[in-house]
A and B are shown apart, each in its own frame.
Chain A
Amino acid sequence: GAVVSQHPSWVICKSGTSVKIECRSLDFQATTMFWYRQFPKQSLMLMATSNEGSKATYEQGVEKDKFLINHASLTLSTLTVTSAHPEDSSFYICSASLGSVLFFGPGTRLTVL
Chain B
Amino acid sequence: TQLLEQSPQFLSIQEGENLTVYCNSSSVFSSLQWYRQEPGEGPVLLVTVVTGGEVKKLKRLTFQFGDARKDSSLHITAAQPGDTGLYLCAGANFGNEKLTFGTGTRLTIIP
* A residues lining the B interface (CB < 8 Å): 4, 6, 32, 34, 36, 41-46, 49, 91, 93, 95, 97, 100-107, 109
Contacts and interface: CB of A to CB of B under 8 A. Distances in A.
A80 B97 CA distance: 23
B42 A32 contact: no
How would you classify the secondary structure of chain B's contact residues: helix, strand, loop or mixed? strand
B99 A46 contact: yes
Interface in B91-106: 97-104, 106
How would you classify the secondary structure of chain A's contact residues: helix, strand, loop or mixed? strand
Given A41-B106, A43-B88, A107 B99 contact: no
Contacts of A44: 43, 88, 101
Contacts, number: 51
B78 interface: no
Interface of B: 35, 40-45, 48, 88, 97-104, 106
A49 B96 CA distance: 11
Nearest to B100: A46
Q: Which 8 A-B pairs have the closest CB atoms?
A: A104-B42, A43-B104, A44-B101, A43-B101, A97-B97, A106-B42, A107-B42, A104-B43
A110 B3 CA distance: 27
A43 B91 CA distance: 13
11 contacts: A34-B99, A43-B102, A43-B103, A43-B104, A44-B88, A46-B100, A49-B98, A95-B42, A100-B97, A106-B40, A107-B41
Nearest to B41: A106
